[in-house]
Structure 1
Amino acid sequence: MYAGGRGGGGGAGRGTDEDQKLDRTQTRVVLKRSFQMAGEFRKQAGLALLLVIITVLCTLAGPVLVRHGIDSGIRAKDSHALNMTVVAYIVVVVIAYVVGRWQYVALNSAGEGFLRLIRIRVFSQMQKQSMAFFDREKAGVLVARMTADIESMAELVQWGLMQFLSAFLLLFFAFFLLMSLSWQLTLISLLVFPFLIVASIKFQRDANKAYLEVRDKVGANLSALQEGITGVRVIQAYAREDEQIRRFEESNRALYRSHIHSVKVSTWYFGLIEFAGIGSSALIVGFGGLLVH
């Protein structure tokens, strides 16, 4: 985390130094260290995983029950079967709601505990640094590491991880469920997967660059703000207010542009995901109609 200290005090305004970037080996080391730190929250994470599985199963049970109600109830004109299906559907919805709340609480409890531990470790590590380290590094960059970086991890732990697990398990169980219902339509739905895989790889690379750029600009912006506040007496003594305002406007504008760029990176990818979902549904409906007729 502190490798960037060699860049000098002006490093915040240039872009992320190469020694601040992690290669695959370093990434594996960091991930391994993170899993070791999260060891004390293993039980909560295991409970959250179990609850995610139950929620996914409830999600898949809904369409199956609707299919059963139409085939065995409406088409067969069996009111008892239809009523039982409706009752079962309501039970599944209630279970999904209750388990979903437990899942949210369990996952966020483990995530917040992990983030609290990271904040303490980072702050303790900062206190162990030499005076030369703080001479080289800008206070705004260090604050950004303690706030923006950990906030990004909070989004990952609290929302991204849960969404990733839910999506992966939903895809895994749905594949076998669809194969049991119609292997032909399942294969049709998989036609969009190669495009999604290629798009996801490109998005991962673009998003990583955009995140590093935003992180760098956040540090530069906080540095400009910190310098303007702590050095206000010197700035006013030499009548440098206009120059300081101009520097802050430049850093703020650069931060704005980096955020806009990150939004554009996300927009094309998620738009493509939506289009792939609609296109896959259209293919399934069209091919399904051919199978029926």
Structure 2
Amino acid sequence: MSKETTGNAFDYTLFKRLMRYTKPYKFTFTGVAISAVLLSVFAIARPILLKQTVDNYIITKDLNGLTLFILLMGVVLLFEVIFQLLFIYYANWLGQSVIKDIRIKLFKHMMAFKMKYFDNSSVGILVTRAVSDIERIAEIFSNGLFMIVSDLLKMLVVIGVMLTTNWRLSLIVFCVLPVILYATRLFQKAMKKAFIDVRAQVANLNSFVQERISGMKIVQLFVREDEEYENFRKINKKHERAWVKTVWYNSIFFAVAELLTSITTGLIVWYGGLRVIVGEIELGTIFMFIQLSQMLFGPLRQIADKFNTLQMGMVAANRIFDILDTSSTIEDKGNVIATNFKGDISFKNVRFGYLENEEVLHGITFDVKSGETVAIVGATGAGKSTIINLLNRFYDINSGDITIDGTSIKDFSLESLRGQIAIVLQDVFLFADTILNNITLKNNSITEEQVIEAAKEIGVHKFIKSLPHTYHYNVKERGVMLSSGQRQLIAFLRAYVTNPGILVLDEATSSVDSYSEKLIQKATERITRGRTSIIIAHRLATVKKADKIIVMDAGKIVETGTHKELLKKENGYYKNLYEVQFLAEEEVI
């Protein structure tokens, strides 16, 4: 993969890789390429016909011949318009088809990433890559590649016509040509670096805005509006400067190009006029050379502009391929299909750290028997949630082994493993969709009738029926139309309808109203009945009813036992925790 810091105007390896995505559309690709060639032919025909019209019919005052050639020029113009229409439409269609395929591949690739990748990546930047950067790739086809090819062909044909018509006038044009070519080259290199900066600033701006909008409640709660406004001003200023730099380069280049074109036209008129007076060339030749010189210099200016589009698309493609080349996926080589787990879970000397040389779990070993409800308690940062992440293989362990029903979780296919484990997280995420779709996640194998029956079983049907449109109520982005307790109930139901072999609950009822808390407690009892359940316990009722309690501290298991057994240990960690936290809670209740 080419480095973004290179000042190269064009990266052939990157371009070749991008062209592979056009293979499914090779018929359209060929048609657009042919249209580009024909457009250059029709464009050259116009000045040639103009010369013939001036010399043979206007000067000789041949009205019939003039009418015929005017009609002929009209026909040529009509064909040019038709092919221009086909060219623009199908070039854009090809670009959109290619980015559709790339976007699908990118999204599928990102969905397979480890959680660690998302831990270290900005959501705003990833959104920029998947949306705006990919749109830049489409412009390679619509306004870049084919237009450049068409312009280059046009320029080659123009040069050939000039040389065969009058080499002296051609020399006048060619003397200015190297200056424009040199200016174009400098312009392209400067714009490549400028566009890299632009894309970086766009990503930073998107990331900042996305995070602040998502965390607007925190911004307002802590009265950070003025500070965030100033931060935004600074980031937006950098974004502006990056774009202004590209505008500055454009302003210089196009002004110089326009000046050189005007000088060339003046020299053609001056020298050509003298030759007409002495009878060396015909008047129509001057008209043709003026038009041909504009057709030669015009594409040069446009090529520079289109090359900018091509370069911006290549920079975007480079960023997209960087993500596609990222191998941050969980290894999925298991060939055992997990079906109907009994629920025997075993952690054997498991060691794990999110960062290298920073271990979070230090040789964890415990067993959960089929049908047991196990509560994991401990202070924040003890490693409770890490156990959940490892069981689902959101992360891979550093050493040791985790088995379910005697089989290592690495031997299960990832899809089937996660399909047998349902999780209710403390921070419930709901999509901007109906309650029904948030429960089924549009799984066609789960019917609305099954959802309603499950809701009745765990005691949340009445709550859902009280909402407008009931199960078809749209909860909006992240479920903002529901309270935290209601979102939690939806999450319980979402887990329950999948009929998992193993259930993991990050129980969170500390911030919900008493009515929702009672519903959640009832749902917890129903959903854990008869299946293996691991619960990150926050409430006393859950801890007491658990078949076993695992007490963690600083990534180690310090105690294991039932509620009564652990309370009997003098100066025990659980006993102290219970007296400080749970007993105080019991007194309040």
- TMscore range, shorter length: 0.7 to 0.9
Contact 1:224 1:247 survives alignment (8 Å): no
Counterpart of 1:76 in 2: which secondary structure?
coil
Aligned to 2:18: 34
Q: Which amino acid aligns with 2:229?
A: I
Q: Which amino acid aligns with 2:116?
A: A
| Residue of structure 2 aligned with 1:61, choices 45, 50, 58 | 45
Tell me if 1:198 matches 2:198: no
5+ residue gaps, structure 1, are 2-17
| Residue of structure 2 aligned with 1:255, choices 226, 235, 239 | 239
Aligned to 1:46: 30
Aligned to 1:274: 258
1:19 deviates by 5.7
| Residue of structure 2 aligned with 1:91, choices 63, 75, 92 | 75
Change (3 A) 1:144 1:236: same
Q: Which amino acid aligns with 1:155?
A: E
Q: Structure 1 residues 164-173 or 281-290, which shifts more?
A: 281-290
- The Cα offsets for residues 198-226 of structure 1, whole Å up to 9 and x where unpaired, read as 21221111101111111111111111111
1:189 deviates by 0.5
**CA distance in 2 between partners of 1:169 and 1:260 (Å):** 32
**CA distance in 2 between partners of 1:155 and 1:270 (Å):** 21
1:22 deviates by 5.7
Higher percent of residues as helix: 1
Give 1 or 2 for the bigger CA radius of gyration.
2
5+ residue gaps, structure 2, are 279-589
Contact 2:198 2:243 survives alignment (8 Å): yes
| Residue of structure 1 aligned with 2:130, choices 123, 146, 149 | 146
Q: Structure 1 residues 230-239 or 99-108, which shifts more?
A: 230-239
Counterpart of 1:137 in 2: which secondary structure?
coil
**CA distance in 2 between partners of 1:132 and 1:279 (Å):** 61
Higher percent of residues as strand: 2
For 1:116-195, list aligned pairs within 5 A.
116-195=100-179
Change (3 A) 1:172 1:139: same
Contact 2:183 2:253 survives alignment (8 Å): yes
Q: Which amino acid aligns with 2:36?
A: V
Percent identity of paired positions between Structure 1 and Structure 2? 26
Tell me if 1:228 matches 2:215: no
Counterpart of 2:172 in 1: which secondary structure?
helix
Contact 1:148 1:215 survives alignment (8 Å): no
Structure with more contact order per residue of length (Cα contacts < 8 Å, sep ≥ 6) = 1
Tell me if 1:75 matches 2:75: no
1:134 deviates by 1.4
Which aligned runs of 4 or more in structure 1 are off by greater than 4 angstroms? none
Aligned to 2:93: 109
Contact 2:187 2:253 survives alignment (8 Å): yes
1:45 deviates by 1.6
Q: State TM-score, norm by structure 1.
A: 0.87
1:162 deviates by 3.5
Change (3 A) 1:29 1:285: same
- The Cα offsets for residues 3-54 of structure 1, whole Å up to 9 and x where unpaired, read as xxxxxxxxxxxxxxx9654687x93332221111211222212111211222
Q: What is the RMSD computed on CA atoms of the aligned residues?
A: 2.1
Q: How many residues align?
A: 276
**CA distance in 2 between partners of 1:155 and 1:36 (Å):** 16
